[in-house]
Structure 1
Amino acid sequence: MSLVSFLARRSFHYGWLVAGLTFLALLVAAGIRSAPGVLIVPLEQEFGWSRATISLAISVNLILYGLIGPFAATLMERIGIRRTMVFALAFIAIGVGCTTLMSTSWQLVLLWGIVVGIGSGVIALVLGAIVVNRWFFEQRGLVLGILTASTATGQLVFLPVLASITDRFGWRTAVLGLTGAALLIIPAIALFMRDRPASVGLRPFGDKSETVEVLQPKVNSIASTLSALWQGMRTRDFWFLVGSFFICGASTNGLIGTHLIPACIDRGIPEVRAAGLLAVMGIFDFVGTTVSGWLSDRWNNRYLLCWYYGLRGLSLIFLPFSFHLSFYGLSVFAIFYGLDWIATVPPTVRLTANAFGKENVGVMFGWIVAGHQLGAATAAFGAGVLRTWLGSYLHAFILSGILCLIAAVLVLRIDQTPRDWGVGRAVEVGGAGR
């Protein structure tokens, strides 16, 4: 009897092990994606590159991170989740490790922007959504909330350590540590990750039916993914979801995730201490996003999103003034903002399932995440340009807060009524709600 077969026959459902491995992979990938916030100033000091130039590489990374998601959903169906994860983690490790050898800015764009961007685009929110839908019939919202919160935990685990290593030993040592973390989890994924419950003789967690799992026929991944985009673009709800998630990305990964540490350094706050702020956000976001997943199974998801975006907008408008209240003012911001950093994800997935059908959530949420990352890329580059041009992040923070208040109004227009919707075929999904 193999170890996997032995584990599958234990009292706990094997899906929890799959969810744990997914959480671990998402955590490492999130830690790597958050690293540029620590690296901006050291790269600026060593190579003399402007903050706008470094932000360009980060922007390319964020764009590819988003655009790869829809295609990753169908790639996982074609070659399997396990193989896709192993290849993506190896790709990330190569890209991150090679940055220690770079000497010009175009190499930063190539390695961190393109290579790491493609790899991290696979180990992303779409992966968590697909795993939840395949392995869980019950508790989908809660599990998706926990997996989504792994991005916050990635910050919590990695950022203070990266900042400390960079401060004491230099940024290259920190980057090599990230490479090692990506390589370290590949064997566990290769040995224990499984694509579907049927591969270990199980039904999804909480599914008591006796019916045999029916697998969808494989079709051309690119054609089906683009077809889903085309049909989605013809609906109003798609544009509301993409527009609000564009603002979500602009106000999180793109602005705060990339530029909060440099903004703190501009104000005389040491890098390690600034990284600690993001770690505090990670702690509170883990709580906020997990609770959001639980709430998304029970409350009106439009109202949840309205509250999340509204409160985030107010906190971002407060941020520039918190610098005048010493480090304690920033601590208040970190707690308040951290509670809904990515709490928007579970309700957005649930609304996507309602709008486009549970069988289409994987690819449709992938395209919505692409909008999220386009927003993140726009803010990452735009904030860097504004800082270079005006010498301050004030305008970037205020503008982002106003956009969040606009998003709070947009999400109220999304139709919450579940309905059938086809994209030519049923694409593998990751809905949070049945």
Structure 2
Amino acid sequence: MRRLAYVTEIAETTSDARGPRVHRAWWVAGVSCLAIIAAGTFTTMSGLLVDPLHTEFDWSRGTIGIAVSVNMVLYGLAAPFAAALMDKVGIRRVIAGALLIIAAGSSLTTIMTSSWQLVLFWGFLVGLGCGSVTMVFAATVANRWFVKRRGLVTGLLTAASVFGQFVFLPVLSSIIDHYQWRPAIMTIALTALIVVPFVWLLLRDHPADVGITAFGAREFAPKPSPVRGVARRTVRVLGTSVRTMPFWLLALTFAICGATTNGIMWSHFAPAAHDHGMPMTVAASMLAMIGIFNVVGTISSGWLTDRVDPRRLLCIFFALRGVSLLLLPILMTSTVQPQMIAFVILFGILDVATVPPTIALCREFYGEDSAIVFGWINASHQVGAGLMAFLGGVARDTTGSYTVVWIVAGSLCEAAALIALTIVRRTSSAGVLRTPQKSPDRGPF
């Protein structure tokens, strides 16, 4: 392994000296995509485990839900701390360590015998690992390695997460149907493990590590010194950013984003379609199609973010998403009709398209701390998702249908579209909203 790493370093030096045709930043983006895909696959796996675990261990769905909830909470809370840790020990160590934690936690799940082990292995370990390889990782890579095409790269990396979440869902479901749940978990655990060597050999923390400039940069930038006090810095960034209005506006819109995507589609689309007579396997296929069009929408959103005011993009994306959700109750049928295909395409394009503009706005307002701030804003996304997942089920039990859920979700999106327009663009006279950059290891915490 050391010899291979040494050869890789020599190849990098030689290639850089001659002026490589493909900038090293794109190789970093490529291996980052692999890591994000590997981690993203675990996100939707939880839903496939509920029935098999209930059948084999006779655990209640509420008991299993505790582990899933712990997983989701840590997925959101780990992100800002992971972003700060990347500034201290580097991207490569954090991502490689996170993938190893994911592989270990998921592998241990296959030999568990008690429900508390499910909470520890799947809830804590897998949730912690996946939370470290999220969109804050994408934001950090884009900020460090790219000056031009940041929006496009953010879209590509976000699309990788969606690809891992949805596209492999039918494959894993098929493995569970034919070989039970343990082989499915081991498949994705081995996938995460296989990606680790690629991360260690190809991923670098900063362009200065290989003696080059970031993509699109005109001047060489030295690598910043490691930032100490990870936990204190993460909490301090939160304490400073919550005193600014853009943070609350972005957190509110992203919470609505989570409520109207993860919270409603992952938890309620399939049972809602089943209420109208659509087979569950067909509904799951619709979700997979949404995942495919997510890739198109997110990459396009990243490209547009480099060219259009992110606030306007957020307004348009939320407004169109709201219209699609308001129309969904009249589109539901027992079979797949053209109007349902149209909804899947439109919603898929809009589903995660809000991420690149949100990251761009965080970068505009909070500078070098933008990845940490986005991590906290992403936590609001998970809170919104969790609330909608819970309240949507309550509404279904109370009213006997999901109609009110779609109406509320669509209305929230229209409200988010208006909120996005109220985010004031930062100017030189508007004051600096960036969090303090000096003495990161000191502070009130």
Please report the TM-score for the alignment, with normalisation by the length of structure 1. 0.90
Secondary structure of the residue aligned to 2:352 is coil
How far does residue 384 in structure 1 lie from its aligned partner after superposition? 4.3
* Structure 1 gaps, min length 5: 429-434
Percentage of pairs with the same residue: 43
- The partner residue of 1:421 within 433, 436, 439 is 433
Please say if 1:383 is aligned against 2:392.
Answer: yes
State the partner residue of 2:77. Answer: 67
- The partner residue of 1:22 within 32, 35, 44 is 32
How far does residue 354 in structure 1 lie from its aligned partner after superposition? 2.0
Secondary structure of the residue aligned to 2:213 is coil
Question: Does the 8 Å contact 2:209/2:223 carry over to 1?
Answer: no
Map 1:250-265 onto structure 2 (within 5 A): 250-265=259-274
Question: Does the 8 Å contact 1:4/1:192 carry over to 2?
Answer: no
How far does residue 294 in structure 1 lie from its aligned partner after superposition? 1.1
How far does residue 224 in structure 1 lie from its aligned partner after superposition? 1.4
Please say if 1:222 is aligned against 2:262.
Answer: no
User: 1:338-379: CA deviations, max 9, x gaps?
Assistant: 0111100111111112222x2221111111111111212222
Map 1:228-243 onto structure 2 (within 5 A): 228-243=237-252
Please report the TM-score for the alignment, with normalisation by the length of structure 2. 0.88
* Structure 2 gaps, min length 5: 1-5, 441-445
User: 1:385-431: CA deviations, max 9, x gaps?
Assistant: 55566665444333322222221111111112255333221699xxx
Map 1:395-414 onto structure 2 (within 5 A): 395-414=404-423
User: In structure 2, how many angstroms separate the alpha carbons of the residues matched to 1:195 and 1:345?
Assistant: 23
Please say if 1:191 is aligned against 2:201.
Answer: yes
Question: Does the 8 Å contact 1:155/1:278 carry over to 2?
Answer: no
How far does residue 55 in structure 1 lie from its aligned partner after superposition? 4.0
- The partner residue of 1:86 within 73, 83, 96 is 96
- The partner residue of 2:190 within 177, 180, 198 is 180
Please say if 1:295 is aligned against 2:304.
Answer: yes
Please say if 1:200 is aligned against 2:205.
Answer: no
Residues 405 and 55 (structure 1), Cα distance of their counterparts in 2 relative to 1, 3 Å cut: farther
Residues 105 and 382 (structure 1), Cα distance of their counterparts in 2 relative to 1, 3 Å cut: farther
Amino acid aligned to 2:433:
W
User: In structure 1, how many angstroms separate the alpha carbons of the residues matched to 2:375 and 2:427?
Assistant: 19
User: In structure 2, how many angstroms separate the alpha carbons of the residues matched to 1:140 and 1:344?
Assistant: 15
How far does residue 185 in structure 1 lie from its aligned partner after superposition? 0.8
User: In structure 2, how many angstroms separate the alpha carbons of the residues matched to 1:267 and 1:285?
Assistant: 25
Question: Does the 8 Å contact 1:363/1:427 carry over to 2?
Answer: no
Question: Does the 8 Å contact 1:55/1:381 carry over to 2?
Answer: no
CA RMSD of aligned residues (A): 2.5
Question: Does the 8 Å contact 2:89/2:226 carry over to 1?
Answer: no
Question: Does the 8 Å contact 2:8/2:201 carry over to 1?
Answer: no
Higher RCO (C-alpha 8 Å, min separation 6): 1
Please say if 1:305 is aligned against 2:314.
Answer: yes
User: 1:12-55: CA deviations, max 9, x gaps?
Assistant: 11111110011111111111102123333444555555555544
User: In structure 2, how many angstroms separate the alpha carbons of the residues matched to 1:242 and 1:193?
Assistant: 30
User: 1:179-220: CA deviations, max 9, x gaps?
Assistant: 1111111111122211111111111112122x4415145221
User: In structure 2, how many angstroms separate the alpha carbons of the residues matched to 1:147 and 1:241?
Assistant: 20
How far does residue 102 in structure 1 lie from its aligned partner after superposition? 3.9
How far does residue 115 in structure 1 lie from its aligned partner after superposition? 1.8
